[in-house]
Structure 1
């Protein structure tokens, strides 16, 4: 299907039908900078669910590569994708973990097909996570090949 690029706000997806808004979260329970602020301005549930998921991590699947799907409106879901190790660059590089993003995008692709949904996102992993779009885009193209994807700039 390919990736479509538009100017706009990923929290206001420009599409009909069911929509999944995908974004990257860190693995240390932090929510308070970057795209998540726009998400929290629109809906309270994604942050509350993420924080609860993090708190209960000893008994759940929270961790790099995991995805939490939060329904925020009748036709809108938010995918909290854990693909960022910590919140600061380290000796090993930026916080983004491409293998975790790849795994998370695979789950998002499956959920989008199950819901017959389109997927919407900012340039995931390339803000605070420090990723490079030329490495992220091929993961999106591979894992979301069967769904309509819109990237908002």
Structure 2
């Protein structure tokens, strides 16, 4: 079975050959403006524009859905709706929804297999979404790695 390859670096700049998909978590409120999406928007405008259009359309804009956006010949961004709203509830429930992340990653696996692509991501769901990597990692294992897909997880290394 494949294992996640952990890399220090920038998930918006994958360093492997072949077709690549950069996957990240979005919220279900149409908000785009904090966290990893800022790095995405700095490099490409299309993922944000397509996400905002998707939200406005209301068509299949639900937890567990994905949107594939081609930004270069062999590079795609996968907008995954795996976060409900943007704040932790008064009961302490973070915005991440693990079952939605799993649903997104199952759909992403199908896309990756059809494109023969590797997957590149930050530690999805663990930043602003408030999730725990020990919950996310097994979901990646069961959805992507068990399908033989190469997965690279990037820990950003600040240049300061």
Bin of the TM-score, shorter chain as denominator length: over 0.9
Unmatched 5+ residue regions in structure 2? 156-160
Runs of 4+ in 1 over 3 A off after TM superposition: none
How much does 1:2 deviate?
A: 1.4
Unmatched 5+ residue regions in structure 1? none
- d(CA) in 2 for partners of 1:47 and 1:139? 26
TM-score w.r.t. structure 1 length? 0.97
The question of 1:104 aligning with 2:104 is answered: yes
Give the structure 2 partner of residue 129 of structure 1.
Answer: 129
Give the structure 2 partner of residue 34 of structure 1.
Answer: 35
Give the structure 2 partner of residue 85 of structure 1.
Answer: 84
Give the structure 1 partner of residue 120 of structure 2.
Answer: 120
Considering only aligned residues, what root-mean-square deviation do their CA atoms show, in Å? 0.6
* Secondary structure at 2:101 match in 1: helix
* Secondary structure at 1:36 match in 2: helix
* Secondary structure at 2:94 match in 1: coil
Give the structure 2 partner of residue 48 of structure 1.
Answer: 49
How much does 1:14 deviate?
A: 1.3
How many residue pairs end up in the alignment? Answer: 151
* Secondary structure at 1:152 match in 2: strand
